[in-house]
Amino acid sequence: MVSTEDRRSALLDAAVAEIARSGTRGLRVEAVAKRAGVSTALIYHHFTDRSTLLHGALEHIGIRADKFTMPRAGSGREMVIEMLLSEIHDDDEVRVNAAAWGELRGEAIFDVSLRRLTAGLTQRWADDVATHVRSGYADGSIRTERSTASRCADESRADELGVQLTTVVEGISARWLTGQVTTARARDHLRTIIDALLGPRP
């Protein structure tokens, strides 16, 4: 028997796929129901309206991204690289997630409630990267200028790098999704920028 949580997750998978394909403005609850192979009434049973479905889809994108972006092991530097490169990968789920994220981020320009949720997810992503940067400081895989910078400055720099690196991924991802660069070239560009921002390898 399918649990309520599994059914809700399947409905959100369908919503994310529809957003990736049709955008937020083109999202129709009926299309989500058809993609999921359920009745429209079931969608409304789980989500009170289209706005609730959009918010649920945005949160679901974050959960799905965590599955393929959380690094398994390695130095702090290796974990930063793995986490960021996993956002650009020849995998249908990664592409759909990235495309839907871009659509919802665009909609957040006009929808204040989506803007808050998008900002929160973006900040969480940047914070996760900053945490791995700090691990890199601790294990020596990312160098700091200890002679001129205090520990407080290192902490601040890690936060800055989290923002800068995630911003770069979003920019390169947009070009990759639209076919302006191949997956291999997008990943190469990203590696080059990561190395430039993190400094020379030890």
Q: In this predicted structure, what is the pLDDT of residue 124? A: 93
- Show the tokens assigned to 35: 């993609």
Contact 64, 93 (CB under 8 A): yes
Closest CA to 194 of 113, 115, 83: 83
pLDDT tens for the chain, residues 1 to 202: 667 777 888 889 999 999 899 888 878 888 888 888 888 888 888 888 888 888 888 888 888 888 877 777 899 999 999 999 999 999 999 999 999 999 888 888 988 888 988 999 999 999 999 999 999 999 999 987 654 456 667 778 999 999 999 999 999 999 999 999 999 999 999 999 999 999 888 7
Domain count, the chain: 1
Contact 183, 89 (CB under 8 A): yes
Q: In this predicted structure, what is the pLDDT of residue 148? A: 44
Prediction pTM value:
0.86
How far apart CA 192 and CA 77 sit, in angstroms, is: 13
Closest CA to 143 of 88, 82, 83, 76: 76
Instruction: Print the domain residue range for 12.
Output: 4-198
- Show the tokens assigned to 55: 């918010």
How far apart CA 131 and CA 124 sit, in angstroms, is: 10
| Domain of residue 91, CATH code | 1.10.357.10
CB-based burial of residue 21 (10 Å sphere; 0-12 exposed, 13-18 middle, 19+ buried)? middle
CB-based burial of residue 41 (10 Å sphere; 0-12 exposed, 13-18 middle, 19+ buried)? exposed
How far apart CA 30 and CA 185 sit, in angstroms, is: 38
Contact 95, 19 (CB under 8 A): no
Q: In this predicted structure, what is the pLDDT of residue 7? A: 81
